[in-house]
């Protein structure tokens, strides 16, 4: 794992080098300085709203928990800690998921099965919302004369693959594919030895089907909030370019965010998507404005926001007590 971390980090840094080597870094630094502390604070606040919406979306999926201000605060802090690990550890964005499950179990008495099921479904909901978001971004790219044909083709292939993967992920949960496969091979010795694991899988499948079929209102609200989370990324880019002194259209900001998210999803193994995010901003910004340093400056502002958020997350993990159960929920209600 340590070797993998080093290789992933080096790959991202190498990609970042090739992106930035022909760009005037002095101009980039000057543009970032132009944003100022107030601009950075506003960008962080926009992301706070997005993170808050995502936390409520996750809480809606935890059907045994009420959607109250107290539980929104708890879900927010749990996600804050978990997402910090997701961002810094090269494990496909899943390194922080056990952190969330552990806090939910130790602090609030939520069973590992329920926590795990909610985490998988939250990921699925986010991916479905992302597909809708990317489709709109792709339509903007198709209509834009600034975006080249090769980039449009690459984006369409990436969108297609991501859509297929998301549909398969949803189908596996909705139609109890894991349980069906276990039943299909029930006569094999290895299946009998894994009886405990089979029971867990069946419980997970039951929770998946129950949520998708019996909680339509919660599912719809979760999808809407997840979609708004991606839209707020567009707002962040639009405001950042305003602070950089170069106004862009909402469609341009949408294209940048869509391409950045698509590329980050493709090279998920690189921590923080180092190099990928910068590349997306530089490519689209160069095509639209002819000023690649503005794209790198926008990416740098986002990196500042990400670092600040990761520090908050690690502080939450360090300072938030996980050994004692909170009195806000009956641990027996699982």
| Dihedral angle computed from the Cα positions of residues 325, 326, 331 and 334, in that order, rounded to the nearest 10 degrees | -110
Residue 242's CB: how many other CB atoms inside 10 A? Answer: 15
* pLDDT for residue 13: 80
pLDDT by residue, tens only, the chain of 334 residues: 567 767 777 777 887 888 888 888 898 899 999 999 999 999 999 999 999 999 999 999 998 899 999 999 999 999 998 888 877 765 555 677 888 888 888 888 888 888 888 988 898 899 899 999 999 998 998 888 777 777 778 778 888 888 888 888 777 776 666 655 655 555 555 555 554 555 566 667 778 878 888 888 999 999 999 999 999 999 999 999 999 988 889 999 998 899 888 877 777 667 677 777 788 888 888 888 888 899 899 999 999 999 999 999 888 888 765 544 554 554 433 3
| Token pair of 110 as six digits | 């939520």
Q: Is 111 left (phi over 0), alpha (psi -120 to 50) or beta?
A: beta
Residue 219's CB: how many other CB atoms inside 10 A? Answer: 18
* pLDDT for residue 321: 59
**Distance between CA 230 and CA 220 in Å, rounded?**
16
Pair 132, 228: CB distance under 8 Å = no
As to burial, measured by CB atoms within 10 angstroms (0-12 exposed, 13-18 middle, 19+ buried), residue 236 is: buried
CA atoms within 13 A on the CB side of 297: 29
CA atoms within 13 A on the CB side of 49: 14
* pLDDT for residue 60: 95
């Amino acid at each position: 794992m340590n070797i993998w971390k080093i290789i992933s980090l080096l790959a991202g840094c190498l990609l970042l080098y090739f992106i930035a080597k022909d760009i005037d870094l002095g101009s980039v630094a000057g543009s970032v300085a132009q944003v100022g502390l107030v601009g950075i604070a506003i960008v962080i606040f926009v992301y706070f709203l997005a993170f808050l919406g995502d936390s409520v979306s996750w809480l809606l999926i935890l059907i045994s928990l009420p959607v109250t201000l107290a539980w929104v605060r708890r879900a927010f802090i749990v996600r804050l800690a978990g997402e910090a690990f997701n961002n810094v550890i090269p494990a496909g964005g899943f390194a922080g998921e056990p952190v969330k499950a552990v806090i939910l179990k130790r602090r609030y008495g939520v069973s590992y099965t329920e926590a795990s099921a909610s985490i998988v479904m939250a990921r699925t909901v986010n991916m479905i919302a992302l597909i809708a978001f990317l489709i709109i971004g792709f339509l903007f790219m198709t209509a834009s004369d600034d975006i080249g044909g090769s980039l449009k083709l690459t984006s369409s292939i990436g969108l297609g693959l991501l859509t297929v993967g998301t549909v398969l992920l949803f189908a596996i949960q909705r139609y109890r594919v894991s349980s069906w496969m276990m039943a299909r091979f029930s006569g094999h010795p290895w299946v009998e030895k894994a009886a405990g694991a089979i029971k867990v899988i069946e419980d997970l499948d039951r929770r998946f089907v129950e949520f998708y079929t019996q909680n339509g209102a919660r599912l719809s609200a979760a999808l809407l909030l997840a979609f708004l989370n991606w839209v707020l990324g567009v707002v962040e880019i639009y405001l950042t370019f305003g602070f950089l002194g170069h106004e862009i259209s909402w469609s341009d900001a949408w294209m940048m965010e869509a391409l950045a998210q698509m590329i980050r999803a493709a090279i998920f193994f690189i921590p923080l998507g180092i190099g990928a995010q910068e590349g997306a901003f530089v490519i689209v910004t160069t095509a639209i404005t002819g000023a690649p340093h503005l794209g790198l400056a926008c990416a740098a502002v986002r990196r500042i926001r990400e670092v600040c958020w990761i520090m908050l997350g690690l502080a939450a993990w360090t300072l938030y007590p996980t050994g004692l159960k909170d009195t806000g929920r009956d641990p027996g209600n699982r």
